[in-house]
Structure 1
Amino acid sequence: LIPLRLTLENFMCYRQGLPTLNLENVHVACLSGDNGNGKTALLDSITWVLWGKARARTQEELIHQGQTSMSVELDFLANDQEYRVTRLHSRSRGSGSGKTELNLAVLNGNQPTSIMGNTIRDTEQQIINLLHMDYDTFVSTSYLRQGDADRFTKSNPADRKQILADVLSLDYYQELETAAKEKARESQIQIDRNETALEIHSSELSDKESVTDVINKTNATIELITPQVNVLEEQLTKLSAIIENTSRDRNQSETFKSSLALAVKEIKQAEEQESTLSLELLELENLISRSDEITEGKANLDQNSKELGKIEQNLRSVRDLEKKSAAISQAIAVEDERITVELGILRTRLDSEMLPAVAEIPDIKQVIINLEHALKALKIQETELRSIEAKISLLEKEKNQLDLENVSLMSQMTETRKRFDLLQESDASCPVCNQNLAEKGKDHLQNELKLVGEKSKKSYEINSLKISELQDVLTNQSEIATGKRKLIQEEGNQHNAGIISSKTKLTHLGKIEQEVAAIRNTIKSIESKKVTNDFSVENRKELNFLQSQIKKIGYDEQTHKSLLDNETNYQKYRQLYSQLENAENRRIEINKFSASNQILIQNRKEQVSIWNKELEQIDTRLQQSQESSQMSQEVSRDLKSKRSELQSSVSQRDILKNRLLTIEQTEAEVKKLRKSINSHKQEKDSYDELTAAFGRNGIQAFMIERSVPQIQEIANELLSKLTDNRMAIKLELRDGRLDRLTGVPSEELDIRVSDEVGTRSYETFSGGESFRIDFALRIALSKLLASRSGAPLPILFIDEGFGSQDSKGQERLTEAIQSVQTEFEKIIVITHVEQMKESFEEHI
C-alpha cells in the first residue's frame, strides 16, 4: 500500500472544498500542526476509506458537526498498479445506522474501471486481498499510533508474552489446535461407535456353524417326507372321484325328493281347485235359472233410481231456496232489531237526559239573577272600603308630618345641647360675635338655651305620643281594609265564575231544548215504520218470491222416503244382474279349466311314480359308497399331517437360509468396521500429533523462541543509533506460574536493558530513555509482523509525542527515522514539536 492522493469532504474537522493532498512524490515528510488541527484525522481517513474503521466508535461520529454526509477518496499503488477507493456515508433520518457506499476501481491513466463486489463486505475483502493486510495488521505494522508505543514494554511479563503472540497472530495456530482437537474427538466418537457395533456383530457370527447343521438336517427331513406326501395325494385323488359320484347321487336324491314334494303339492292344489270349480259351476247354473226374476228386478231398480234422482234434484233446489230465504229473513230480523235498539236509545236519551236537563233552565236563570244582585251588593261594600282607605291615607300623611317635625326637633335639640355644652367651658365666647362672655351673660344664654331645649323636648314628646296613637289606628284600619278587600275580591271572583258557568250551561241547555222536538218526530217516524213493517222492503219482496218458488217445486218428503226404501230393496238385483251377464262365459271357462286341470293331475302322478323308482336306485348306491368316504377321511388326515410337517420343515429351512445370509452380510460388515476403526485410529493419531504441534509447546513456542532474537536484534540495531551505542536490550523467556488445569508453567517475557552503568529493568530508566527503548521495540515489532504476514512494508506512519526527548534525543530519533528510510517507500512523521519539524526537508 502506497498512498498517492487523498481527497476529504466533511470528514471529522475537515469541511468541503479542500484541495487534494498529493503524496505521490513524498518519501520522508513531517505532518505538523497544532493539537486539534486534524493531523491524526488524515490517517483516520485512510483507514476508514480502506477498511471502514477509525478511532471513533460509530461512523456518524466521523461526520463533520452539522453535516449529513461525508466522503473520502484515496488513490493508492499496490503491486505496481494504481487503484482508487471511494467511501461515502450519510446519516440516517431516523434512529438507524445510516447508508454507506463503497467503490473500488482500477486506474488506467485517469480513467477508473470499477471492480467492486456485489456487497460492501465483498469489496472490502477485495481490498484486503489487494493489500495483503487488514486493519489490525496495518495499525500493528505501518501505523505507530500516538500513545501506543509503550503498550508492549509497560505490560507485565505474562501479558508481554501474550502481546507478542497476538503480534505474531498465534491465535491462528490456537484455532488450528482447537480444530485438530475437535477432529480427534470426532474420530474417537466414530471409533467408539464402530467398536460397539463390532462387538454386537461378532456375537452374531458365533451362530453360523449351528445354523448350517440345522439347515442340512432340515433338508434330509424334507427329502424323506416329500415321497410320502405324493403317495397320499394319489390315494386321495382316487377316493375323491368315488366320493364325488356319491355326492352327485346325494344331490340328485335331494333334487328328486324336492321335485316329488312339489309334485304332490301341485296334485293336491289341482284337486282342491277342481272341487272349488264344481261348486262355482252349480252356483252359475242356479243363477241362470233365475234370469227372468233378476231382469225384472233390475228394470224396477233403474226406474226407481230415475225417479229418485228427480226428487233429490227437487230437494236440492228447495234447500237452496230455503237457505236464501233464511238469509233474507235474518237480514230483516237484524234490521228490525236495529230499529228497535235505535228507538230505545232515542227514548232513553229523551227521558233520562234531555227532558231533565231542559227542566233545569228556570233554576239556572234564577241563579244568574241572584249572582248579579250579589255583585251589586259587593260594589256598595267596595265604595265603603274606598272611604276607609281615604281615611287611612289622611292618617298616614298626618303621621308623616309629625315624623318630619320630630326629626327637626331632634336636630334642634342636638344643636341646642352643643351650644349649652360650649357655654359651660371657662373661656366660653359668644356664639354670635365670638367675644368672651361675662359670667352673667353666660348664665343668661344658658337659661335661654335651656328653655329652648325643654320646649323642643316637650313638643317632641307630644308628637311621639300622637305618632304612636296614629300608628295604632293605622294598623287597625289597614287590617280591616285589607280583610274587606280580600273578601270582596274572593266573593266577586266566585260570583263572576258562577255567572259565566251558569250562562254557559244555559246556552247548552237551550240547544238541547231545540233538539227535543226533532227527536220526538224521529221516534214517531220509527214507531210508524215498525207498526206497518215499512222497512227492508226489497228483502221482503225477495222473501215472498222465494217462498212462492218453493211451493211451485212441490217437493213431497213422504214420496222421497218411499223411493229410498225401494232403492234399498231392489239394490240386490244390480249385483245379480251383473253376475248373470257373465255367467255363461264363466261356465265355459270353468269347463275348459277343469279339463286342463285333470290332465295336469294325471301327468304329475306319472312323474311321481318314475321319481320314486329312481330314488330307490340312488339309495342303494349311497349305502355302497359309505366305506370309501371313511377311508378318504383317514387318508386326508394323514396327508394334512404330512403336509404340515413338510411345510414346517420348508419354512424352518427358509428362515435358517435368511439367517445364514444375514450372518454372511454381518461378516462383510465386520470387515468394514475393523477397516474403519483402523482408519479412524490413524486419523486420531494424526490429529493428536497436529494438536501437539499447533499447541503452546509446539509451533507457537517455536515461533516465539525464534522471533524473540529477531526482535532483539532489530531493536538493538535501532537503539544503538538512538543512544550512541550506550544501550542494549535483552529479551528473555522464562517459566512463570503453574497452570492449575494442566500443571504446566506459563511462559513470561522479561526485558532487561544494559547501559554503561549495568543491566537494569526497563522501569528504572528516565522518560526520554524509555521512549527510545519503546520506539526501537515498536519498530522491531512492526518489521517482524510485516515479514510474518507476507505483506510488504512500503509505508510507515509515526504518530508519537516526541516532547519527552531533549534536543539531542530528538536529533537521534530523527537520525533513526532517516536510517530506516531506505526500507520504506514513504515515512510520514506526525508532530507539533518545532525542532522535529525543522529536521525534515518536506513538510505537510
Structure 2
Amino acid sequence: MRPIKLTMTAFGPYKDREVIDFTELDENRIFVISGNTGAGKTTIFDAICFVLYGAASGEDRSDVKGLRSDFADDDVHTSVELEFELRGHLYRIKRQLSHVKKGNKTATGEAYEFYEKIGEQEIPCVDRQIVSEINKKVEELVGLTRDQFIQIVMLPQGEFRKLLTSQTENKEEILRKIFKTERYTLISQRLKEKKQQAEDDFTREKQTRDRYFSDIQTLLPARDESTLFATLAQENFNTYQVLDGLDEESVYYEKSIEANKQNEKLAEAAYHKKLEEYHKAEGINEEFKNLEEKENHLKEERAKEPIFKEKKVQLENAERAGKIESYENQVNEWRKDEKEKSARFQLIEKSYHRTVQTLQTAEASYKEQESKKAEREEIRKKLDGYKEFLPLVQEIDMKKQELMEQQKNVQNLAKNRDSIVSTIQEQKEKKQKLNNQIKGLEIRVDTLPDKQQKLIELRNQATVLQGYLKLQRKQAEMDKDVKTKENQYITAKQKYETMEAAWINGQAIILASHLHDGEACPVCGSTEHPNKAGGHVDVPTKDALDAAKIEFNQIDGAYRDSKAKYNTLKAELEEKAIEVRQLGFHVQNVEVTYKKMVEDGKKLSAEVDSLQSEKEKLARLKTQLEKLEANLSRMEKQQESVTEDYQLHNTAYQANKAVYQEQLNRIPEDLRQLSVLKAKIADTEAIQKTMEQAWEQAQKQIQSAKEEVAKAKVNLENAKLALDESRKKKEKAEQQFIEMLHKAGFSNEETYRQEKMAETSQKQLKAEIESYYNNIASLQLLVKDLHETLKDKHKVDLNELKTELDQLKQAFDQAQEQLRQSEQYLQHVRKLQKNIFEANERVTEFERRKNIVADLYDVIRGQNDKKISFERYLQIEFLEQILIAANERLKRLSNGQYVLLRSERQEARGKQSGLGLDIYDSYTGQTRDVKTLSGGEKFNASLSLALGMADVIQSYQGGVSIDTMFIDEGFGSLDEESLTKAIDTLIDLQQTGRMIGIISHVQELKNAIPAILEVNKTKEGYSKTQFVIK
C-alpha cells in the first residue's frame, strides 16, 4: 500500500481542510516529518490508520471521538480521505465522523466511502458503504489487520518495541494475530470440549448401567436360593456375574410359567361350568317376571278404550270438513284479489290528478320563456361585439409584456454598469492597502532565516542536556533498585543454603536409621557402624528445597539483570557527559543551564513562529495582489461592454413603446385590458347559455306533461274495469261455498271451521288410534305365549348358586394373577439382560473414546516438560525465520556485535515460555535478556525485528504488499555511527521501492534526508503542513 494523497478536515490540530500530496516527493522515497511538539506529526499517522481501519495508531488514542479538532467550526465535519495505490490499482477511501451541532440533540454527518478509481470513473469497492463491509474489504485488500498494520507498516510511539521486549504470552498474541494461528487454539479448545463431552458420555452411560443394576432389586422378588441376589449383596461384582445371574432367573421363571398355565386351565373349566348353570336359572326367573309385567300392562291399556272411541268420532268430522276446504280457499283468493285491485285503482287515480297539475305548471313556464325572445337576441349581438375586439387586445397585451421585459432588462443593465464602476473604485483602494502591507512585512521577514538557524542550534544543545538530566535521574532510581535487589539476593541465598544444609543432614540421619550391624552401608560399604548420625531435626522435603532453589534463581536473575542495566546506564551517562562538555558546558551546572536554555528557546521559538506566520501571510498577500490586479483589468473591460449593451437596449425599448401607445388609442378605454375583456365575454356567454337552456327546457316540459296526462288517463280506465271484474267473481265464489257447507252437513261457516283439521294432524290422530288397538292385540298374544312357555316350571333360588360361582371365580383369578406375575418377571429379566448388556458395551466404547481424546488433548495443549503447546510450536518456527531475517540487518547495524536469539529459559512463576528473546553479545561471548540493551541498541534491534517480520510476512502471505513504512520514535537515542547505519539501512529499503516516513527531531537525520514534511503551528494554534525538498 502506497499513499498518494491524504486529506484531513477538522482532524486533531488541523482546523480546516489540510492536504498532504505525497506525489510532491517525486523520486524521493524517504522523508522526515518535522515540527514542534504537539504540532500534529503523530496525527498524520493517526489519520492514515483511522481512514483505513477506523481507529488511531496508538493504544492511548483509541477513542475516535477525541480525534475531532478543537479549532473546528460547528458546521464542519471531521473527516479523513486517503488516495492510495495497491498492486497497480488506485483507491479512494473516506471516513467522516458525526458530531452534535449546536441546537441539536443527536449527532449527524456520519459517512463512509470506498471506491476504486479507474480513469475518471469511481467504482464502489463494497455493496453497501457501511463500516463493517469497508473494514472487511480493507483487511482483504491490504492483507493486514489494524494490529498487524501498526506492528509492521506503521510503528507508532509506544508500539515500536513491544514485539522485542514483551513476554512470551504477549508475543504469542502478536504472532497469533499476524500469522493467524488462532485456529490451533480453537483446536485445543474444541478438543477440551470433546474430552469433557467424552467424560460426560462415559459417566452418563456408567450411571445408566448402575441404574439398571438397581432396577433388578426393584423389579424382581428376592429369592433365597437366587445366585443373582447373592451376587448383588456383595460389595464388589462385575457385569458378567450379573448377566449370569439373570440367565438363571430366566430359566426359573420359564418353568414357573408352565406350571401356572396348567393351574389356570383347570380353574377356568370349573368356573365356566358353574357360570352356565347360573345363567340358565337366571333366565327362567326373568321369564316369570316378564309375564307378570305384561299382564299388568294389558289391564292399563284396556282402561283407555273410551278415550279412543271419542277420538274416532273427531277424526270422521275432520275428514268431512276436508272435502269442502278447496271452496273456502277459492273464496279467500278472490277476496284478496278484489282488495289489491281496489288499492291499485286509488293509486292510479291520484297519479292522474298529479299529471294534470304538472301540465298546468309547464304551460305557464312556456308562455313566460316565449315572451323573452327579443332579450335573447340583444344578448347575442352584444357578445359578437366583444369578440371583434379580442384579437387586437391580445396583440397589445403581448406587446405590453415585451415592453415590461425590455424595461426591466434596461434597468438591470444600468444597475450592473453602476455596480461595476463602484467595485472598480473599491478594488483600486484595496490594491493600495495591500502594497503598503507587503512592504512592511518584507522588512520583518528578512530576519527569519537567521533566527531559525539559531533556534535549531539551541534545540540541539537542549536535547543533549535533557538527555543527560534524564539519564542522571534514572541512575539515581536504578541505584536504589540495585541495592534493594542485592539485599533480596543475600537474604534468599542464605535461606537456600541453610535449607540445603538441613536437607543434606536430614538425609544422613534417615540413612543412618536404616543401618544395622552386619549389613553393608550403601555409601562406604562398611558392615560396622560405630558412630551413626543421630538426633532429630526438621528436614525439608525435596519439593520444598526445589521450590526454594527456583525462588533463589529468580531473585538471582533479577539482581543480575538490574546490575547489568545499571552498568549500561552508567556508561551511557559518561558518554552523555562528554557530549555536554564538548558543547562548552559544565556538568555541574547542567540543570541551571538547561532551564535558561528552555526559557531562551521558548522566546526564540515564539519569535520564529510569529515570523513564520508573517512569512505565510506575506505569501498570501502577494497572491491576493496578483489576483486583484488581474481582476481589475477584467472588470475595466467588462465596464466598456456593459455600457455599450445598455445604450443599444434602451434605444430599442423607446421605439417599441411608441408603437404600443398608437395601437392602444384605437380601443375603447374599458376594453383595453385583456383580462377585463375576457371576463365580459365569459359573463355574456354565460347569460346567453342560461336563457337558451331555459327556453329549450320549457318546450321539453310542456310536451312531456301532455304525454304523461294521456298515459295516466288510459291507466285509470283499465284499473276501473279490472276492479269491477274481480268483485263479480268474488260474489260468485261466496255463493258456491255456502251451498257446499249445507251439503256436507254444517249449519254455518263457524261450525265448519271448528271441525276442520290440518292434514298432518289428521294423519297423526289416525295413526295414534291404530297404534292403540294394535298394542292391545299384541299384549294379549304375548301373555298367552308366556303361559304356554312356563307350563310345568318354577322359580329358582339364585343366592346359593351365586356363592358357589364367586368361590370358583376367585380361584380362577388367583391362577391368572400367578401366571401374569411369572410372565411379567420373565419379561423384566429379559429386558434387564438386554439393557445391561447394551449399556456395558456403550460404557466400554465411551471409555475407549475418552482415553483417546484425553491423550490427544494433552499433546495439543502442551502437557509436556517444556510446556509448549502445538500453536506455540508453530509460532516458534515463524519467530525463528523472523530472527534470521532480522539478524541480517542487526549485524550490520551493530558492527557484528549483536545477534537476536530465541530464549530457551523457563519463565518465572510458571508463566508460558518459548517465545522470549535474548541477545548474544559477540564481544563478551555472553547471552542476556534483550531488556538489558541500551535505548539506541533497543531501537536497532526493534527496527531489525520489524523489517525481518515484514520480509517473512510477505513471503508467507503473497497477497500482502508492504510498500510503505512509517516510524515514530527511536532515532534520538542513537550515536552518530549508529544513526548513520540506521539511515543507510532505511535508504537500502528505499531502493527496493518502499516509501518510508520518519518522525524525528534529530538534526543529522534531517540533514541526511532531502525530503522534509514540515508541520507548523499558526498563531491561532492550529497546524499547517508543507513539503520541503532540498
Task: Mark the structure with the bigger radius of gyration.
Answer: 1
With normalisation by structure 1, the TM-score equals 0.49
With normalisation by structure 2, the TM-score equals 0.41
